[in-house]
Structure 1
């Protein structure tokens, strides 16, 4: 069964990477292998991407003691706890049949695992029945060490439609963010990384970044070929503050690569949303040097 839909195939063909994508695609399946289950059980955070009840895409962060995410069967994970009521995806994760993409990223080991499927609420949180499970290489992942958690409570949520000066600083200094996209066959959550400044602010309502060469699957760009909805999540690793955006994204293919332009429809900033605190990064040796213009 082809793991790619027509959008991803269109991008792969345009870039001449179908053979490489076919090779990597053989590793995509619904089964959770033993090594993947062990990896999940060690993680203190999980990013979930989905559409809210209004159909807008968001990326959200869940945290917990190792074991809060665990494999409970060959194609199912259980997550203990949920999202706070103010989170844009809180209601979606309590709705049976919500299509979700998840990514477990471990900065300590520069490993990541993605699992896409269908969520259902439980008495203790929610479960996801997997349709696609796969790992990615450590390209563009920054290494960080987990420090002692901070016992702070989340601050007042700030909603808006344009970047504030502090949010602009956070985005411009970011070396990592997460992106949620959607297609007819489900949702996907992915990671983007680079040296600080790889995400550019071109206006109070628009961000751009270069699409660096990756694993040749083009799941996110493939989704955006047919559905421009996207949700971004930025994390201040030292304070736990999260900054979420929902909006639309479009890809421009040029002679020097690909540029994604994201238009902000709404933002949600939550100070100290995460209790996790991480060290300063050791940047990935794969990060390209920044270009003069996006």
Structure 2
């Protein structure tokens, strides 16, 4: 495993190039036994895909444990489909790059899987190119409380070019979101971001700003963004089953003066929103909040 030029550029600017290089060994091209065992018990997958216009989207897939099957050391099958209005399946018809984040909120564990996808009517098969566990930092503990099936009969989706007031309030109260990025040669990637409520600031109806905290020093997301600014964000309403998908362009901010506005920020990201997809009753699971991550700054 070697890092691409964008990742090396950001690692160098952050002053962690040597530390990052030492981590190459944790990224595997196969699914190891520990990952196999983890996948068999999980219920949440966040996926990163790219549409025909080059816009990047973050999607959510949930099901009962066992819906992620390891077919062989390089192939998994996801037995779940998003709601009809989600762009995931349509995106994969034209670009089969996919980034996956499988996350266990209760145990603060997350596994990233990047590769090539093949869409079937009831499932998605993914040939794995990269697989690795991430650190547990900034994950807020949440416990699955129940599964609701009746509300899924009437999902409601709306597409807009900007955030409405309800969306803005949702984002300012969020302690968790997911970010998708894409490199034309290295493929798609999905990652997690967390902090205390308010760590994502709404500048206006078409722009957000959020901090980047100290992480694993590999900078897959930022490396992709330094080459291709197209990105997607996903906000989840864990209590009511709604999701907010944003696609737009991200800019990395290194300005030391601006960093002072956010406790613990190493860098900032300005995210310019191009499209908003709000979906109500988008998934069946409901979560109960447990506790904030002890790593959250401020």
TM-score by length of 2: 0.93
How far off is 1:89 after superposition? Answer: 1.7
Contact 1:53-1:91 at 8 Å conserved across structures: no
Find the aligned partners of 1:126 and 1:201 in 2 and give their Cα distance.
Answer: 35
C-alpha deviations, 1:186-240, integer Å up to 9, x for none?
Answer: 0100010000000000011000101101000011111011100000000011111
Matched, 1:159 2:144: no
- Partner of residue 121, structure 1: 119
Matched, 1:214 2:212: no
- Partner of residue 50, structure 1: 49
The correspondence of residues 131-280 of structure 1 with structure 2, limited to 5 A, is 131-151=129-149, 152-153=151-152, 154-183=154-183, 184-255=185-256, 256=259, 257-280=266-289
Task: Give SS of 2:26's match.
Answer: coil
Q: Which runs of 5+ in 2 are unaligned?
A: 260-265
Find the aligned partners of 1:82 and 1:177 in 2 and give their Cα distance.
Answer: 21
Task: Give SS of 1:279's match.
Answer: strand
- Partner of residue 76, structure 1: 75
| Structure 1 pair 84–155 and aligned structure 2 pair: CA distance change class (3 A) | closer
Find the aligned partners of 1:276 and 1:108 in 2 and give their Cα distance.
Answer: 14
Contact 2:143-2:287 at 8 Å conserved across structures: yes
Contact 2:83-2:155 at 8 Å conserved across structures: no
Matched, 1:282 2:291: yes
Find the aligned partners of 1:187 and 1:243 in 2 and give their Cα distance.
Answer: 20
Find the aligned partners of 2:204 and 2:177 in 1 and give their Cα distance.
Answer: 19
Question: Number of paired residues?
Answer: 287
How far off is 1:90 after superposition? Answer: 2.4
Find the aligned partners of 1:96 and 1:28 in 2 and give their Cα distance.
Answer: 27
Contact 1:178-1:234 at 8 Å conserved across structures: yes
How far off is 1:156 after superposition? Answer: 1.6
Find the aligned partners of 2:222 and 2:28 in 1 and give their Cα distance.
Answer: 20
- Partner of residue 102, structure 1: 100
How far off is 1:96 after superposition? Answer: 7.3
How far off is 1:15 after superposition? Answer: 1.3
Find the aligned partners of 2:119 and 2:6 in 1 and give their Cα distance.
Answer: 30
C-alpha deviations, 1:47-69, integer Å up to 9, x for none?
Answer: 10010222210000011111111
Contact 1:96-1:120 at 8 Å conserved across structures: no
- Partner of residue 41, structure 1: 40
Task: Give SS of 1:147's match.
Answer: strand
- Partner of residue 262, structure 2: none
Q: Which runs of 5+ in 1 are unaligned?
A: 290-294
